[in-house]
Each structure stands twice: as structure tokens, then as C-alpha cells.
Structure 1
């Protein structure tokens, strides 16, 4: 593992350095940036990942010429695995996103604790690499906070939501509460594929589809060792066909939220 400072750590240290150089306390800076002192402290300690809006405001307060926003974009790209980077641009500019999850919650809807638990399953990852991947995943989710975010529709196999084994119940409960919050956002729809459906076209694996402003679709197949971007007409048509079947078999939006609340209720 390289001992170079990660982009996330660089951003945190430079935010603090800029504040101190400007002679501002956390409370004074928070007042100027319109954030609470506790939020400023959490960002500087690495407890909260600053989103685009936070860093844009920092650039304005410190008159840094867009430095922090640029660093965040570089970190978002560098933190992701090499095979994933071609998909990032398509995802970033998509007007619609459709994802199917059969094993874990979709990355765009994961909490930091859940993402961390998932990345730790790869025994080849050092603790430092796990944190890099978590920060990159959270940064990737910022597209849902854009002024004009993509319309995200997710279909999640019910088995994904019931993994409350000993040692991960708290993480799962937090993840399900987050899913419920996301599902109530106007541009996010979460649909549960009930266990009673049995075998379905998604058993072969998860995938995500993105639609550009021009109306073109591109897909991403996720595998155990990487992923494959699908942009040929036949491949995309196959994924769209699978998607339509899975979406039609899934529960409606409100019924899905009701089921999520039912599943998490014993763990609250």
C-alpha cells in the first residue's frame, strides 16, 4: 500500500489549514459557510464526507478558485477501481438510472457503514484501501444531490434486506432506515422483489443501466472480480428486457416502503 496521502485526507487537512490560516474558529467558519460548528468539526475529523455543496461553499469562503471541488472530483475518480472508471462518466451524466441488486444494496444507496462492511469482505483490501473505497462510494452518491439529479429506480431482491446476522444487525438496520429515507425522495424509487417470486431473470447477477440526455442506454455488469461496461445494441437490449421483467415482478413503491419498515421494525 502506498504511503501517499489519500485525496480524502488531503481535502480534510486543507480545509482545516485554510480555516486556521484565515484565523477562523470552527464556529466562525460555520457561520460564514452556513454550516453548524459540529458539522465543520465532523468534516475535519473525517467523520463526515463533505459533499459537493459543502466544498463549493468552502471554495467561496476561502476564494480558492474551485480547488476543493476539483480535488473531490479527482478523488472520486481515483478512489474507484480501474475497471469501474469508464462507467462513472456515463453515470454522472445520466438522466435515468435503473439498477437491480441481488446480493447487496446498490452502491448509490449504501450507507458508509454498510459499504465498509461490504468492502471488508475482500480480504485483499487493507484498512486504508477500504476507507478509500468507502469515501469514493459516498462521493459517487453526490449525483443524487444535484440540482437536477437523475431519476433512480432500484429493484432489490428481498433476501438482500434480511441479512441481520449476529455482528451486522446494527449496520443492516441503519442501511434499511437509509433506504426508506431514499425511497421517499421524489427522484428515487425503491422496489422490493419479494422472495415469493422464486427464480427470476436477475439470478445471473446485478446490473445497472444509465440513460443519457440523448436517449442512449449503457449498462454495467458487476462480477466477483470486476465489471463490464455494456454499450452494444444487443447487450443493452438484453439488459433492458431483463429489467422490465424484474420491475414488473417487484412490489409497487409504497408497498416496498411498507415492507422495508416491517423488516427493520424489530431492530429499531
Structure 2
């Protein structure tokens, strides 16, 4: 089946199909459902994605993340997923008691695959902000995991499209203590947001909600150390683990 014939049955242009196949356009659930229609699978691909892909609440953010030209992320207690090592991601995911070892391994692999957007031909600009807690906090058996994670974070921040900032403990109370937030700016300058919680996460696309998140982001960013000072602190903490 040609791209044009497939697209006609799926409800997409041939150029859209080509862009998805080449990885320059995000694979969305609407495209997956279109593939089911075009190939008359009875919904097989949608069931497959639902079972083995990202959780349904996270898929809209993944679409935004892949299409973004700029990403802004803040987490008060953890290194952001796009900058995690495999061992650190595994340690974090194992905190969920119901996940089996195989499920943890699958999620680690998915997380590492997501990081490919940062090294692609035209990567987004990533600005990551974490509390000092995130670079100092570790669990039992993390004596090796944390220094490797912090050195990896330092190396990532040396790339031209990535900057990492730390909110020092001395900042005290600030807007970010309410929880993590993610923001993505698209090529048309529109924004998408995502918030995580104990049960999963939720997207934010209403203009008033995005305005609030952008205000919170700017407030958090203003509390953070400049890049050079942040990297010096990260290096200092990494050395303390060695």
C-alpha cells in the first residue's frame, strides 16, 4: 500500500504519513486509530499501544514533547526523566511497589528512548530546574547511582541545547514546592503543559492554566542559581559521593 493510499483510508495526507514514518512528526493516537481503519485490524494497534505504550494520561504530553522547540521542566525532588541515567530511572521506578522487574525494565527502556529527542538533528532547547534536594537525596544502595547520575547531568548541561539550574536550599519557600511541572513551546509559539501527581498526571492546555504555569515557571526560574554556579554545585555534590 502506498503512502497516498494508506493516508486516504486513514484520513491523513501522504506527506503526513511520510513525516510519521521518518520520525519528524509525532505518532498520535488519532494516527494509530487511522492505521486501524486503513488496515482493517479491528482496533488491534490501538489496543497494542494502550497495553504496551505509555499510560493514556501521558501520551498527550509525549506528543507535545516530540513536537516542541523548547522544553521547560521543574521537579522539586527528582532529576527530570529526560536527563536520568538508566540506573537512576530504575531506582525511581522501583519505588512503585506493584511494578514487576520486567515492567520496570520496560519503563526504563521507554524513558531512555524518549531522551533521543535531545540528540536528534534539530533538538529542542531544554531548560531543567531542580531543587537542591533532588541532587542530594538518595535511597539505600544509591552510593554508586547518585554520582553517576550527577556526572551525567553535568555532561548533559554542557550540550548547547541543554541548561540545568538548581534552586538552592537557602531559597526557602518558593512556588515550585507545590509540585513538578512541564511546559513545551511549539513552532507556532503555542504552549502545552503537564502536571504530575501520585496517580499519574494531567495535561494543561487552557489559556488561563498555561498563563498560571508560565508565571509559576518564571518564579521558580528566578530562584535558581545561574548555570555556572549550578554546575559547580552539582559537581561538588557528585564528588562528595565518590
Q: TM-score range by the shorter chain?
A: 0.7 to 0.9
Q: Partners of 1:78 and 1:239 in 2: how far apart? A: 31
Tell whether the 8 Å contact from 1:100 to 1:207 is kept in structure 2 after alignment.
yes
Q: 1:138 aligned to 2:112?
A: yes
Tell whether the 8 Å contact from 1:79 to 1:135 is kept in structure 2 after alignment.
no
Look up the match of 1:248.
222
Tell whether the 8 Å contact from 1:114 to 1:172 is kept in structure 2 after alignment.
yes
Q: Partners of 2:59 and 2:101 in 1: how far apart? A: 22
* Shift of residue 103, structure 1, vs aligned partner: 1.6
Q: 1:222 aligned to 2:187?
A: no
Pairs within 5 Å for 1:7-156: 78-156=52-130
**Count of residue pairs the alignment pairs up:** 195
Q: Partners of 2:103 and 2:112 in 1: how far apart? A: 14
- Which residue, 238, 249, 256 being the options, matches 2:212? 238
* Shift of residue 266, structure 1, vs aligned partner: 2.2
* Shift of residue 82, structure 1, vs aligned partner: 2.0
Tell whether the 8 Å contact from 1:192 to 1:250 is kept in structure 2 after alignment.
yes
* Shift of residue 96, structure 1, vs aligned partner: 0.3
Tell whether the 8 Å contact from 2:82 to 2:114 is kept in structure 1 after alignment.
yes
Q: Partners of 2:154 and 2:165 in 1: how far apart? A: 11
Tell whether the 8 Å contact from 1:79 to 1:132 is kept in structure 2 after alignment.
no
Distance 1:175 1:79, change over 3 A: farther
Tell whether the 8 Å contact from 2:77 to 2:131 is kept in structure 1 after alignment.
yes
Look up the match of 1:65.
none
Distance 1:233 1:226, change over 3 A: same
Provide Cα deviations, 1:11-35, integer angstroms capped at 9, x if missing partner.
xxxxxxxxxxxxxxxxxxxxxxxxx
* Shift of residue 165, structure 1, vs aligned partner: 4.4
Q: Partners of 1:165 and 1:135 in 2: how far apart? A: 22
What TM-score does the superposition give when structure 2 sets the normalisation length?
0.78
* Shift of residue 169, structure 1, vs aligned partner: 1.8
Tell whether the 8 Å contact from 2:183 to 2:191 is kept in structure 1 after alignment.
yes
SS in 1 for 2:165: strand
Look up the match of 1:204.
178
Tell whether the 8 Å contact from 2:77 to 2:137 is kept in structure 1 after alignment.
no
Write out the 4+ residue segments of structure 1 that deviate beyond 6 Å after TM superposition.
none
What TM-score does the superposition give when structure 1 sets the normalisation length?
0.70
Tell whether the 8 Å contact from 1:86 to 1:229 is kept in structure 2 after alignment.
yes
SS in 1 for 2:57: helix
Provide Cα deviations, 1:116-150, integer angstroms capped at 9, x if missing partner.
01110000101111011000000001000111100
SS in 1 for 2:58: helix
Kindly report the root-mean-square deviation, in angstroms, between the aligned alpha carbons of the 2 structures: 1.6
| Long gaps (5+) in structure 1 | 1-51, 53-73
Q: 1:158 aligned to 2:138?
A: no
